[in-house]
Chains A and B, each alone.
Chain A
C-alpha cells in the first residue's frame, strides 16, 4: 500500500451526488481531506451507520480520503442539509414568549392552584402567580399567539413548529445545558453539533464544519469522546479574528517561500518513510490550513453585504442592542452558503431570577430582529427549505413569582418549556404539545431532548439509532437508548 504523492486522480467520493465535478488542484485535493483523520480501520470500527456507510467504506481505499468528515451518505431522505441552533442560555421564560397562558393574568398575585406543584428550586419563590409583563397577540395565518418580546420572530410563525411540552431532567443550568446539547447530564459527551459533523461531515472544503458563536461554554462546542476534529471552532472568540492562528505573521510571499521549502523537506521525509499514511495526511493538512487562511476571513467578511442587509439584521455601530447578535446571524448565513454543517449561536443572560421585565426585554431586543431578519433572508434566498433552524433554551421559567431582588423574576422550570424549529422538513404553523393553564406541566405531546435530537438527525437524513461511535468498547448514541421522532412537526 504505497501511497502516491502529490498527484492523484480525484475520487467521486468527495462530491455530493449531482454536484458538478470541479477541477482539482493539489490544494483542493488536500482540502477535501477536510478536518480530521482516523485510520480506515478506526473508522470501520467506530462508525456503525448502517449499510449506506458500509457501501461507502469501499471508497476508503482511495488514499487521499482521510477523513470521516467527508462521509456524505445519509441513509434516510434528506430534508435538511445543515443546522442553525439558537441557544438562549440561562432559561428563556416560555410563558412570557411563545406559550400563551391567559390564566396568569387572571390570577395574577393569587396562589397557584396546582395539586402537583413541584418543589421550588432556590427556595425564594412565592406561591403566587405572576402575570406576564408582555401582551400576546396573534400572528400569521395560523394565528399563533406570541408575546411582544418577539414581534419579528412572530412574523414567521407560519414557518415555525412549536414544541410546547418539552421536559428536561435537571433544574440546574449546567447539567441542563449539557443535556440539551449532548443528551447526557455528564461531562465528556459530544454535543449535537459534534455528532452532526461526525455523521455528515462538512461540505466546506476550507471552512470548519461546526461553528459556535457567542459563547465559549464547553457544553456547546465539545466533541466529548469523538475525535477533536469534531469540536466546534469558536468564531469571534476574541476580537475580530474569526479563528485562532488564522492570520499569517508575515507577508504572503514570505510564507509561500516557507511552504515551498517545507514541501520539499516533507517530500523527502515521506519518501524516507515509504509513503507512510500518517505523514501523507499531515502534509495534506498543511495545505488545507493554508487554504483556510483565506477562506475563513472571506466568509466572515460582512463588508460585502449591502447596507440594506446590514440594516435588516440590525448591524451597525449605532445599533448597540442588535449589532453583535446581528453580526453572528449574518455571518451564519454566509457560512451556511459556503457549506458549514452546523452553526450554534448563543445569547446568554436569560437567567432572570429577578428583573424579569427589564432583562428579558433587553435580551429579546438583541435577538428578535436579527433572528427575524435571518429567517427572512434564508427564505428569500431559498435556503430555509434545506436549513433546519432550532431555537432552544435549557429550560423555561416558573409561572409563580420569585422575589430575590426588588423587581420580581421567575425561577428555573424544566418540567415543561418551549422550543421551536423551522426550515427543512419542519411543518410550519404547528404547535405540538400542550401544557396546563399555568404552563406548568405537560398535558399532551410531551417530548424530551432525546426526541428533539432524534428528530434533528432524522431531518438530516440520519437514523439516530444508527449514528453510533464506539468508545471504550461501547457504541454510544446522541440519543443514548432513547429518542422518539416527533412526527407531528415533520412535514
Chain B
C-alpha cells in the first residue's frame, strides 16, 4: 500500500513490511514422516502439478521429484537450504513477488498450507520421491481413484426395471405411476387429495398441453361428455393439436438458450435462427423419437436425412442449429478466448440439456464433485470445435436439382453453337492478323478491333500480342517480321522466366486446385459439382452477352447458375504468413473469410483484414493482409469461401451500409465464386503474372515450320488461330487448361469472339432464353444455422486453468470417460461428433432418457422427481421417487422414446388429475408437496399469459412458423404482431418487456425450469401496460358488437367463462355487477349509454385479466 504523499521508494518499503508480516504461520502438528503424505503431496497435486510436473513443465521447474526441486527452474534455484524460509518458492507462494504470484491465476494458498510448506522446506523436503517419474502417475492415480469413487453416484447407474407396488385404493391403484406415488404417500401417513372438478381439469390440461385456454364451447362439450374415456379423448385431441408443439417447443428453447441475435452491444442477427425454432415445433408435433431428436441436435448433418415432404427439406441438419445459438462478442480481439467462451456455452448446454450434467465445471480443472475430468471437457471441446459454423442448405435433393437436367442439356447445345461460331471467329482472326502482319492498313471486319489491340500491345510487354505487335511494326517498316517477333518473343520468355523465379522465391503455394480439390471441402447446393479438373463455361443469367466466362480447372459455384449457393473450406492450418492471396472470381457479395479459432463475427477493425468481398468476373488475386498482429500468428485458422447467404454471421457492412448493402438486401439468391490457387507470402503484393497466355501464343508461333529464310506474318497469324481453335475445341470437350481458359476469356472480353445474342441465330437465342427462364425458376435455397463436419478436424489441447494461452497436451476427441471409456472402439471410423451423438443416445447411457423423463414430469407438475432438473450430479438433489423415475425411463425407451406417449401416460393419472387443495395433514407434514398428494398451483409462463390475453380477447393470430422479425419492424411498420408468444422475435439485448417480467430467461444459459417469481413489475404491467389495456378493450368491443342485446348478467357470465372457463359464483357476479355500476357512474353515463358504452365493460375485462385466477392454473 502507499499513501499519496509517500514517494514510490517508500511504497516499496511499506509493501515489504506488510509481506513480512504475512509469512508467519501456525505450528504444524504432524510428524515429519506423515507431513509429506498427509499435507504436502495433496497440496502439490492440487495446486502445482498442473503446470510444474512432467517434461513440459512451465518455466522449466518440476516439482514432482527431489531432482526437480534441486534443479530449480529457468530463473534459478527455488530452494535455499541456507535460509529455507526465504526460498524463492516460498516467496512466490506467499505472494511476495509482484506478477509472479503462485499458484498462478488462483487464490493464495491458505495460511496453513503455506505454513506446512515452510515447515516442510525447513525440514529438508522429507518424503519427496527422488525419481521424477512419479508425479504424472500420482496425478493420474489421483483422478483414477476419484473416478472410481464418483462413478458410484446414483445417476451413473443403469436404469433398473421396477415393478410398481401393489395398491388398494379406489382411484390411485389404476396406473403404475399412481401406485408408486401412493405408496410413498402412505408411508408418510398421507392420503391423496380427491379429484379436481372437471372444469378445472379441462383448463389444467388444455393450458398444460397447448398453452392456450379452453374455449367456452370446449368447456360445454367436455362437461356434457359423460363417457368413461372423455378425458382420454380430450388428451388425445390436445396432443394432436398443432398448438401442442408451439407450447412445448417453448420449454425446449429455454434449454437451448434460444435467441435470434448474438447479444452484446451490436447484437447482430443470427441469420434465420427462427428456422431452428420452427424445427422444434414440428419435431414435437410429429413426435420425433427423442433419441433421434437429440442425435439430430448433435450430428444432424451426419445422419441420414429426415425428409419433410411438405416443406421439401431435410429436417435433421436443423437440429445442429442449437450449436449456433450462443452469444458472440462482435468486438472481440482475443479470438482464442472468445472461442473458449463459445465452446463453454455449447458444452454447458449439451451437458445440462441432454445429460443433466454440469460438464462445463470441468473447464479449468477436474470437476470438483462429479466423475468428469478436465480431459473429458477438452475431448468434447475438440469434438465440437472441429465443425464449421455455417448456414446449411436444407432443401431436399429434388429441390436442389430444380432445372439442373434441362439446363445441363441446354448448355450443351448452347456451347456447341458458341464454339462453332468461335472457330469461325478464330479463322477470321487468323486472316485479319495475317493481313496486319503483312503491313496492310485497310479496315476489313474485326481489323479495327485487332488494330487497337496491337497498338496497345506495342506499348506493353505484358500484352498477349506484344510479340505480334513487334512483328507488325517490323513489317510496316519493311523489316523482317519473323526476326522482330523472335526477338520480342525472347524478351517475353525472359520476363516470364524472371517472374516465375521471383514468384517461386516469394510465394508458397498453399493450394492449387487445377488438378484436384486437395483437402478442401465443398458444401452448398450441389457440392459434388463444385470442383472440376477440366474446363467449363458459365452462361450469363441476364444481359446481351451469352457467356459470362470460360471456367478453368478448379472450384466454381456458377457452373449452371449463380443461384447455386456454395461454400468451400480449407483444412485447419496454423497461420504462419503475413499475407494470404487467393486467385478468385466471384460476385454478388460472395466472401473470402479467414476464420481463426472459429471466430466468425469479424466486425472489429482488428478483423477487417480477414474478410474480403469478391467482385471480379475473371480470376484475379485477392490479398488478405493478416499478419500485422503477432497473436494471429500460429493461431488455428481455416479459409472459407462462401456465397452471400451462407455467411454464418453478419457484419455491420453486410447488414447496414457499404457497397454491398444492395447485394445483401436483394434476396434473389444470386452470389457466386470460383478459385484455383492460394498462396502464402510475407510481402504485400500478390504474385505477378507469369505471362502464361503470352507464352502459349509465342511458343506456338515460334514452333511454326520455317520456310525459306524465315517466319512470315501469316505463319504467326495461322499459329495464333490454331492455338485459339485448339482452346475452343478443348472448351467444347470440357478439357481446356487454365491457360486456354484465360486465353479465351481474354479473346471474349477483347471482343474477338462472338458473344452477343444478336450475333447468333434464332435457334440459339431461344436456347439461351429458355435456359434463363429455368434459371429464374430455381428457388432461392433455404438455409438454417447449423454446424457441419468438414475436413479432418482436430484434437484440442487441454487449457490449463481454462486459459487458452496455457495449452497442455492434446486430448483425443471422445465422450465422457465415465460413460464411454477413453478409447473409441468400433466407432473409430465415425466422425467424432457422430460417435458423441451415438454415445449420448445409446440405450446404455443412463442419463439421456432419465433426464428427459424428469423434464417432462417437471413441466407438467412444476417440479421434477429430481428437483434439480439440470443437474443429476452429486450436487443435485436425489430423486424423490427413484423407482418411479426408473420405471418411467424404462417405459419411455421401450415406447420408442415417444414424448407424447410419456405425456399421455403422466396426465392420465389420478395424481395429475387431483385437486390442488391440500389436506390439512399434507400441509402439516409435506408443505413442499414433494409427495404430490395434491396438484401444485402454477403461474402461467410468460408466453402463455400473452397467448391467453390474446386468445380470450379474440385477438390471437394463430399463424404458425415463419420469420417474424424484430418487434415493430418485422411487419414493415404494420399492425403489431398478435401471434403466439413463441413467435416473438428474441433480440437478446432488447427482449420483450412482458416476457422478461414474467421470468422468460435471457437466453444466456440453459434453463430447465423457469423461476416463478412475483415482482411488482408484473402487477404494474397487468395494471398499466398498453398491450393489456388494448386486449381488454378489444374483448369488450367484440362482445358488444357481436351480441348487442345480451343482458348484463349473461354478458358477465360470458366474459367469466371465456377468461376462467367457469361460471361466476353469485358473489363474484354481484361484485362485477356493482363494479359496472360504479364505473358507469364515474363515466357519468346515462341510461342509454350504460347499455352501449364500451368503457365499463373494458374495465371489467381488465379486472378479469388482473385476477390471480387468470394468472394461475389450479
Contacts and interface: CB of A to CB of B under 8 A. Distances in A.
A115 B873 CA distance: 48
Given A174-B329, A266-B1108, A268-B1065, A245 B11 contact: no
Interface string B1010-1032: 01111111111101111001000
11 contacts: A2-B923, A171-B333, A172-B332, A217-B265, A225-B1005, A243-B1017, A253-B1082, A258-B1106, A266-B1109, A274-B917, A445-B2
A131 interface: no
Interface string B621-659: 000000011110000000000000000000000000000
B1103 A1 contact: no
Contact of B989 (A218, A254, A270): A218
A51 interface: no
Interface in A163-217: 170-175, 185-188, 216-217
B352 A472 contact: yes
A38 B1020 CA distance: 20
Contacts of A34: 1016
Contact of A172 (B329, B993, B1026): B329
A413 interface: no
Contacts of B4: 142-144, 157, 429-431
A9 interface: no
Contacts of A260: 1075
A341 interface: no
A429 B3 contact: yes
A282 interface: yes
Interface in A247-262: 247-251, 253-255, 257-258, 260-262
A262 B1111 CA distance: 13
Given A1-B927, A218-B989, A247-B1024, A228 B1004 contact: no
A166 B414 CA distance: 71
Contact of B1016 (A66, A142, A248, A292): A292
Contact of A434 (B11, B917, B1017, B1114): B11
Contact of A39 (B875, B928, B1108): B928
A482 B105 CA distance: 9
A26 to B, nearest CB: 15
Contact of B1107 (A39, A120, A266): A266
A279 interface: yes
Chain A CB within 10 Å — which of B263, B264, B928, B1114 has the most? B264
Given A173-B331, A258-B1102, A264-B1067, 20 more contacts: A123-B629, A142-B4, A185-B341, A186-B341, A187-B263, A244-B993, A254-B1082, A261-B1075, A262-B1106, A269-B1107, A279-B937, A286-B1019, A293-B1024, A430-B3, A431-B2, A443-B98, A444-B12, A474-B875, A482-B106, A488-B2
A327 interface: no
Given A228-B999, A443-B98, A175 B1016 contact: no
B230 to A, nearest CB: 24
Interface of B: 1-5, 8, 11-12, 15, 98-99, 106-108, 263-265, 327, 329-334, 337-338, 341, 344-345, 352, 358, 361, 604-606, 628-631, 868, 870-871, 873, 875-876, 916-918, 923-924, 927-928, 937, 939, 988-990, 993, 996-997, 999, 1002, 1004-1006, 1011-1021, 1023-1026, 1029, 1065, 1067-1068, 1071-1072, 1074-1075, 1078-1079, 1082, 1099, 1102-1103, 1106-1109, 1111-1112, 1114
B228 to A, nearest CB: 28
A274 B1108 CA distance: 14
Interface in A7-56: 34-39, 41
A273 B918 CA distance: 9
A301 interface: no
Nearest to B264: A174
A124 B1005 CA distance: 35
B1107 A473 contact: no
A119 B1016 contact: no
Nearest to B200: A272
B1018 to A, nearest CB: 7
Contacts of B332: 172, 174-175
Contacts of B916: 273, 276
B1075 A170 contact: no
B2 A432 contact: yes
Contacts of B99: 441-442, 446
Interface in A37-88: 37-39, 41, 66
Contacts of A286: 1019, 1023, 1106
A39 B937 CA distance: 13
Interface in A460-486: 472-474, 481-482, 484
Given A123-B628, A245-B1023, A258-B1103, A175 B341 contact: yes
A228 B996 contact: yes
A122 B329 contact: no
Contacts of B924: 1
B2 A434 contact: yes
A248 B1112 CA distance: 24
Given A123-B606, A488-B1, A36 B1013 contact: yes
A124 B605 contact: yes
Chain B CB within 10 Å — which of A34, A173, A253, A266 has the most? A173
Contacts of B1004: 187-188, 224
Nearest to A165: B98
B1112 A268 contact: no
Given A172-B334, A481-B107, A227 B1011 contact: yes
A484 B988 CA distance: 34
Contacts of A312: none
B744 to A, nearest CB: 42
A186 to B, nearest CB: 6
A103 interface: no
Contact of A482 (B107, B876, B996): B107
Chain A CB within 10 Å — which of B98, B628, B1029 has the most? B98
A117 to B, nearest CB: 12
A283 interface: yes
Contact of B1 (A121, A233, A266, A445): A445
B253 to A, nearest CB: 16
A444 B11 contact: yes
Contacts of B999: 228
Nearest to A33: B1014
Contacts of B2: 431-434, 444-445, 488
A171 B1012 CA distance: 37
Given A228-B1011, A432-B2, A474 B361 contact: yes
Given A39-B928, A444-B15, A142 B5 contact: yes
B875 A254 contact: no
A279 B993 contact: no
Q: What are the nearest 3 A-B pairs in CB distance?
A: A488-B1, A473-B871, A188-B1004
A294 interface: no
A265 B1109 contact: yes
Contacts of A458: none
Nearest to A430: B3
A144 B4 CA distance: 6
Contacts of B1065: 268
B1002 A172 contact: no
A283 B1108 contact: yes
Contacts of B606: 121-123
Contact of A432 (B1, B871, B927, B1109): B1
A274 B1111 CA distance: 17
Given A119-B630, A278-B1112, A289 B12 contact: no
Chain B CB within 10 Å — which of A292, A441, A442, A473 has the most? A473
Contacts of A481: 106-107
Nearest to A351: B331
A229 B927 CA distance: 24
A376 interface: no
A185 B1067 contact: no
Contact of A288 (B330, B918, B1016): B1016
A32 to B, nearest CB: 12
